[in-house]
Chain A
Amino acid sequence: MIGIVNYGSGNIEAIANIYNRLNIECKVINKPEELEIADRLILPGVGSFDECMKQLIDSGFKDKLNELVLEKKTPILGICIGMQIMANSSEEGSLEGLGWIPGKVKKFDESLLKNKPYLPHMGWNNIKNIHNHIIFTGVDEIQGFYFVHSYYYECEKEENILTVCNYGLDFSSSVFKRHIFGMQFHPEKSHSNGETLLKNFAKLDIC
């Protein structure tokens, strides 16, 4: 069963709607002690880096997630800020990130962008699956995904970059480390591509 972590941030309902349509069992997890009933997790997130980290800590989810993800190797998929907080730190805030996938979150350099509105990077953009990872099986890379963000994940190690996208520069539009996945775009808002990806995550044989 898929558990959607409800720590007070993110578009929980949109993700649940997709799994309901796909007839894949999912549950919104409201308390850290309920996390263990799920065999894989989705970590949404909207707003700012610090705000999300603070909510994750205050709600008591952070420690339990660390235990499940790092020790029990529960597969997890972070979306948008839910991905960014998997980094070590962010230029957007001062709190420490989860540090699951080594990297730093940086702000796009507006001087590299030619046309207003510059930021956020909002709309549909194509991606490139540089590792040919099976989680992207069936995804139309040219169609791509819906993005809305002003900060991007800079991976410390190239091996953790799952897909790249271009907005002024090439950036990691998704990252991974074995059973840990982070997507900058919004699969829950990205039509059949998003549905395919969420379905692939639900069925992925990671071990």
Chain B
Amino acid sequence: MLRSRIIPCLLVHKKGLVKTVNFKDSKYVGDPINAVKIFNEKEVDELIVLDIDATKEKRGPDFTLIRNLAAECRMPFCYGGGVSTVEQARRIISLGAEKVALSSAIVDNPLLCAEIGVAVGVQSVVVVLDVKKRKLLGGYDIYTHNGKVKSKRKFKEFVVELNQIGVGEIVINSIDKDGKMNGYDMDLVSSLRDLCDTPITVLGGAGTLDHIKNLISRFKIIGAAAGSLFVFKGKYKAVLINYPNREEKFPLY
């Protein structure tokens, strides 16, 4: 049986790893390479690493970091942050990453997905959409630059467009749920699932393994990503890298 993927998502800020709440209040949680070594030992299904400074600082990806991370990873590894050209994507894949994640560059120019897809294979092209719920009108808005810049793109239409162009995966990241650890936004996932048949990974809100279990039991085959859940432990959010072992994981499917 194909199992849903349970994916730690790590954020790189000033060369260290951080965890945020609603994309703010970043808290230092450790060293990237060290974290990857621990996640290797725990045999995580997949790993997403996002450099949250790159686009904001108007710079490209940190290839040295990518090379070092890829050399450690024994699982599929997805890297994002500052990727805006076909050449950068090609280089990231050639360094040993499985997938390359794009966000603001695709919101600016969705056709870039197709160009990168030709270069590295569509299955390796991941689009991360940071979204925030509209307060009055309902629906969602897409944001870029760490939730600072609201895009003019309409969420639903944009997802349909991406589905038509063809992308390997959409990571839907809820800004409202980020770091809250009170469960995924199931309505958001449900509206996205109806709009496309692209593989989806959900990020934002997971605080317990039951949240992951609920997501999988409703959507069957889905990527369940989490930051806080896999880097914090306990009520006081002590930093401790963790991941369900085999006995804890199999009942989630």
Chain A contacts for B141, CB-based, 8 A: none
Closest A residue to B118 by CB, please name it. Answer: A47
- State the Cβ distance, A119 to closest chain B Cβ, in Å: 8
Closest B residue to A46 by CB, please name it. Answer: B121
A13 to B92, CA, bound (A): 11
- State the Cβ distance, A87 to closest chain B Cβ, in Å: 19
* Residues 85-103 of chain B, each 1 if its beta carbon lies under 8 Å from chain A, else 0: 0000000011110100000
The yes or no answer to B2 lying at the interface (CB within 8 A) is yes
The yes or no answer to A23 lying at the interface (CB within 8 A) is no
The yes or no answer to B176 lying at the interface (CB within 8 A) is no
Closest A residue to B5 by CB, please name it. Answer: A123
B45, B76, B219: which has the most chain A beta carbons within 10 Å? Answer: B76
B43, B93, B200: which has the most chain A beta carbons within 10 Å? Answer: B43
Contact (Cβ within 8 A) B93 A11 = yes
- State the Cβ distance, B33 to closest chain A Cβ, in Å: 14
The yes or no answer to A106 lying at the interface (CB within 8 A) is no
Contact (Cβ within 8 A) A194 B95 = no
The yes or no answer to B1 lying at the interface (CB within 8 A) is yes
Interface residues of A in 1-60 (CB under 8 A from B): 11-14, 17-18, 46-47
Contact (Cβ within 8 A) A118 B1 = no
Chain B contacts for A126, CB-based, 8 A: 1
Chain B residues touching A, majority SS = loop
Known: A13-B96, A166-B1. A123 touches B75 (CB 8 A): no
The yes or no answer to B70 lying at the interface (CB within 8 A) is yes
Contact (Cβ within 8 A) B98 A189 = yes
Chain A contacts for B193, CB-based, 8 A: 116
CB-contact partner of B96 in A11, A123, A192, under 8 A: A11
The yes or no answer to A124 lying at the interface (CB within 8 A) is yes
A76 to B98, CA, bound (A): 23
Known: A126-B1, A189-B76, A195-B74. A148 touches B45 (CB 8 A): no
Chain B contacts for A148, CB-based, 8 A: 76, 123
Contact (Cβ within 8 A) B98 A116 = no
Closest B residue to A16 by CB, please name it. Answer: B96
Chain B contacts for A114, CB-based, 8 A: 220
The yes or no answer to A121 lying at the interface (CB within 8 A) is yes
A115 to B200, CA, bound (A): 12
Range for the number of chain A residues in contact with chain B:
20 to 34
Chain A contacts for B174, CB-based, 8 A: none
Contact (Cβ within 8 A) A116 B74 = no
Interface residues of B in 1-29 (CB under 8 A from A): 1-5
- State the Cβ distance, B39 to closest chain A Cβ, in Å: 10
A126 to B199, CA, bound (A): 20
The yes or no answer to A136 lying at the interface (CB within 8 A) is no
- State the Cβ distance, B94 to closest chain A Cβ, in Å: 7
CB-contact partner of A116 in B2, B76, B121, B221, under 8 A: B221
Closest A residue to B40 by CB, please name it. Answer: A191
Interface residues of A in 132-186 (CB under 8 A from B): 143, 146-148, 166-167, 186
A117 to B120, CA, bound (A): 21
Instruction: Please report B residues at the A interface, Cβ cutoff 8 Å.
Output: 1-5, 40, 43, 45-46, 70-71, 73-76, 93-96, 98, 120-121, 123-124, 169, 193, 197-200, 219-221, 246
13 A-B residue pairs with CB within 8 Å: A14-B70, A46-B124, A115-B221, A122-B5, A122-B123, A123-B2, A124-B2, A124-B45, A147-B2, A186-B76, A190-B75, A191-B43, A195-B74
Instruction: Please report A residues at the B interface, Cβ cutoff 8 Å.
Output: 11-14, 17-18, 46-47, 114-118, 120-126, 143, 146-148, 166-167, 186, 189-192, 194-195
- Besides the known contacts A124-B3, A125-B3, A194-B74, 5 further A-B residue pairs in the complex with CB atoms under 8 A apart: A46-B120, A115-B219, A120-B123, A124-B2, A186-B76
